[in-house]
Amino acid sequence: MNTNLQTVEWVWLDEVQSVTLPELARACGISTADVDELLEYGALQPLPTGPSEADQRLFSADCVTRLRTASKLRLEFDLDLFAVALLLDHLQRIETLERQVRSLEAQLPTRH
């Protein structure tokens, strides 16, 4: 009996955590070269680092979800990386607007 077991790794990420470029690429199912290209387009921004960390680019873990979504859409619709860069920008804007709406809704008086 030949069974193919696949290990699934779960990590709870929040925006205060950081991930390295290889971790980001692996978590999103894309190559590090693709992440580098998205950096060139300005679609991703590494976190500011100190002099001791200058050789290792770190990213906020909150970009993982956006990059995963954009990566899936890239595969589904056969998009190039420039289109993915545009998608990432729009996904960021949507997240920001959704946070603003939730914040404004929380300020509304409750209806009885």
Q: Structure pTM?
A: 0.74
pLDDT for the residue numbered 8: 47
CATH value at residue 50: 1.10.1660.10
**Is residue 8 in some structural domain?**
no
**Is residue 100 in some structural domain?**
yes
Tokens of 27: 């978590």
Rg (CA), the chain: 17
Q: Provide the pairing of β-strand 58-60 with 18-20.
A: antiparallel
Q: What is the mean pLDDT of each run of 10 residues along the chain (112 residues)?
A: 54 69 94 95 89 76 90 94 94 94 92 68
CA angle 11, 16, 56 (to 5 degrees): 85
User: What is the separation, in whole angstroms, between the first and last Cα of the chain?
Assistant: 61
pLDDT for the residue numbered 17: 84
Domain boundaries, position 92: 18-107
Structural domain count, the chain:
1
